[in-house]
Amino acid sequence: MNNPDRIIAERTLTDFARDLFAAAGVPPEDAALIARVLVWSNLRGVDSHGVMRIPGYLERVRKGINNPTPDIRTITDLPAAAVLEGDGAFGQLALARAAEIAIAKAADAGIGLCLIRHATHMGAIGYFTLEIAAEGMAGIAINTSRPNMAYPGARTAGIATSPIAISVPGSTHAPLMLDMATATQSMGKIQLARDTGTALGEGWAVDADGNPTTDPNKAAIPTALGGHKGGGLALMFECLTSLMVANPLIAPFLEGAPDGREHMQNGLLIAVDISKFGDVGDYAREVDRLAEAIKTLPRVNGTDEILVPGERGDRVLERRKADGIPLPDGTWKRLEEVASKLGVSLPETR
């Protein structure tokens, strides 16, 4: 029988996460940002990209893969585009810097693109597209990593579960925000299933021999969303990010290059300044109108309400801010182990 979830307040969990990163050598401001983004994922119900990631992140610091004090710097600077060298940074830190650059360039040129090379796991990239939307702009984010997903027709990893996020501002309605992997379910969802002791959905993953499995402990790699559609998107995301910054990730892995399996991620952020193309208020009201039109479509039997992108997460966020964040027993035990090694006190839960 699974143990019940621990319930922990947002502020308490954020402080705990920050303290863990700080104890591992991450500067206080950076530790606070990483913690804030991870807990935001938990608040929205995306627990697969929340604090359950901390043990893995800190293990990469220990192994020298994650650089706790990176020199994130601009290596290409154009009027509407830039390239950031991540220097092994936590992906959240690289994305935060990229968002600032993309927003500033969009304010001048109408559109701003910032490419990121040599960062690490970027987490819930929708956090940063929402930051762009808060500036009255449309935000797009993409990232890719070493292969961890089966390419359609293959029985081993050939592409990454590369996500895409898009956010646009609303008027009275909350911003619309789509944040999705190109996998049927992400590796984080598989790890979460291990932590919760629940079975995987049919078609989510395959085992080490390439056979479909619903056992999270046997699952080796996830499958591509929609078969060739998700697989094709993931492949093209590698072309738009890694190849664009001369830091290929997939081919070296598949060819068995000496450093081809080292964890690394590349990505991009795009900001589009809506005010350069029309009135932001009018645009936002049209977003509201579109959302309402979709929500009033006739529903199929068994559907209580039609939701638009971001709406489910917004509601979970409100509830968890008020009631606390549930953490599965498996996640909590792994956090306990990390805290013990780093000498960080455990927070109160209920």
Q: DSSP secondary-structure letter at 335?
A: H
DSSP letter for each residue of 224-290: BTTTHHHHHHHHHHHHHTTTTTT---HHHHHHT-TTTTS--EEEEEEEEEGGGTS-HHHHHHHHHHH
Q: Consecutive 10-residue runs of the chain (350 residues): their mean pLDDT?
A: 84 98 98 98 97 97 97 98 98 98 98 98 98 98 96 94 98 97 90 91 92 94 95 98 98 95 96 98 98 98 97 98 96 97 95
- Give the DSSP H/E element, type plus range, for residue 42: helix 28-43
- Both structure tokens of 270: 């795009």
Q: What does residue 320 show for φ and ψ, rounded to 5 degrees?
A: -75, -30
Question: Based on the number of CB atoms within 10 Å of its own CB, is 152 exposed (0-12), middle (13-18) or buried (19 or more)?
Answer: middle
* Half-sphere exposure for 223 (CA within 13 Å, toward CB): 21
Torsion of CA 198, 202, 208, 209, to 10 degrees: 150
Which pTM does this prediction carry?
A: 0.95
d(CA 235, CA 222): 15
d(CA 242, CA 209): 28
Res 191: pLDDT: 86
Task: List the alpha helices (DSSP H) in 241-328.
Answer: 250-255, 280-295, 311-323
**132: β partners:** none
Nearest to 238 by CA among 129, 143, 325: 143
Q: For helices 10-23 and 28-43, what crossing angle results, to 10°?
A: 140
Residue reference for tokens 């081919």: 251
Q: What is the SS3 assignment for 103?
A: helix
Question: Based on the number of CB atoms within 10 Å of its own CB, is 249 exposed (0-12), middle (13-18) or buried (19 or more)?
Answer: buried
Nearest to 347 by CA among 96, 27, 6: 6
d(CA 144, CA 138): 21
**222: β partners:** 205
Instruction: Tell me whether strands 157-159 and 164-168 are parallel, antiparallel or unpaired.
Output: unpaired
Helices then strands, counting H and E runs in the chain, come out as 11, 14
* Half-sphere exposure for 268 (CA within 13 Å, toward CB): 21
Domains and CATH numbers, the chain: 1-69+297-349 (1.10.1530.10), 70-183+225-293 (3.30.1370.60), 184-223 (3.30.60.50)
d(CA 94, CA 111): 19
